[in-house]
Structure 1
């Protein structure tokens, strides 16, 4: 399974993804689910994926190949004029990959589905964030829906809903996301560290602040332990239920 979050802030965009993949309890591995493309000063784009690994690998490989092909018949994510067009390109590419599975005799189309989060900024437009579905349609984040989750979303969502603030700093956003990811990891073994992240600062058009948080990282351990202690203290501070 997977857990990925893309979030809009006043200062830019925040992306975080886990890296766990599994094909059964005894076959667990690590795989990067975040891909970045950039033309410094002109565009910076990030893609995160959830779903069938063969499908998502094929989508990313095709998008990568087309950045080097310079073929007008196959537009490149580094050449489309807007983030909306980038979302259309990614959606069409995913639909193409899934259709190829079907034409090759694969009958269970749903088994080859994937859901994607695409975000970034292209010069001349604002930062934008999209969620792309297996069918090839997509929706855009807004003030009413300022973040998207894909994969195992239910355990980390309550924390985001309660604590998200568009005016928070990148440091505060990272703290919030790590609490959300830690809660998901605690509840579901199919999600796991390390976590990849990208912090995109509005109007920079560069992939600058990226990294990976390992499970043994001191700050992540501090967040995990501190959040557990804070929850227990909060529960203890509430009045007991009366049986009378």
Structure 2
């Protein structure tokens, strides 16, 4: 399993993903799930993947290869004129990969399915965030749906729903996501550190910050312990329940 989140802010975009991949309790590995495609000064695109590892690796490999094989796909991810066209390209490539692996054509519930969060900006357009489904179709984030989650989403969603505000800065957004990931990690062993983090400032056309939070990171431990203490204090300050 995995957990990935993409946030839209007034300042730009924030991405965070874990790195755990497992097929049973005795087969646990670490694989990167966040990938960047960049033409400095012209575009910056980020993909985060969840689902079958063979499918997601094949997807990224095809997108990489077709940057150099224009006969295979033109435009490719680094020449598509808009983020909408990039989303179409990623969706078509994902559907193609699943169809190749499935026994009898592409199926949304096949063992080879995968889901993608896609975000970024191309010069001449605004920052965009998409969720791409196994069928190849996709939806775009909006004022009403300003963030996307894929993978093990349920444990970290409540903090996002209560505390998200698109006017916050990147540092506060990273803190919010770390709390969301800490809640997920504590509830589900299939999600774990290291965490990959990327922020993108509107109009930058290059990563604003890009780094990894590992298991020894002192700030993550401070957030994890502090959030537990804060929850207990908040609970104690709620009005007492009385039986009638």
Q: TM-score band, normalised by the shorter chain?
A: over 0.9
Deviation by residue 1:19-57 (Cα, 9 ceiling, x = unmatched): 000011011111000000000000000000000000000
Partner residue, 1:28: 28
Partner residue, 1:58: 58
**C-alpha distance in 2 between matches for 1:233 and 1:110:** 45
Change (3 A) 1:102 1:74: farther
Deviation at 1:241, TM superposition (A): 1.3
Structure with the bigger percentage of helix: 1
Partner residue, 1:197: 197
**C-alpha distance in 1 between matches for 2:230 and 2:103:** 53
Deviation at 1:109, TM superposition (A): 6.1
Partner residue, 1:149: 149
**C-alpha distance in 2 between matches for 1:208 and 1:135:** 32
Q: Is residue 158 of structure 1 aligned with residue 145 of structure 2?
A: no
**C-alpha distance in 1 between matches for 2:156 and 2:46:** 21
| TM-score in terms of structure 1 length | 0.96
**C-alpha distance in 2 between matches for 1:207 and 1:238:** 42
| TM-score in terms of structure 2 length | 0.96
SS of structure 1 residue aligned to 2:130? strand
Deviation at 1:101, TM superposition (A): 1.2
Deviation at 1:108, TM superposition (A): 9.6
Q: Which runs of 5+ in 2 are unaligned?
A: none
Partner residue, 2:5: 5
Please give the root-mean-square deviation of Cα atoms over the aligned residues, in Å: 1.7
Deviation at 1:243, TM superposition (A): 2.1
**C-alpha distance in 1 between matches for 2:203 and 2:107:** 45
**C-alpha distance in 2 between matches for 1:232 and 1:9:** 30
- Structure 1 segment 70-149 matched on structure 2, within 5 A: 70-71=70-71, 73-102=73-102, 110-149=110-149
Deviation by residue 1:95-147 (Cα, 9 ceiling, x = unmatched): 11011113689999610000000000000000000000001110000000000
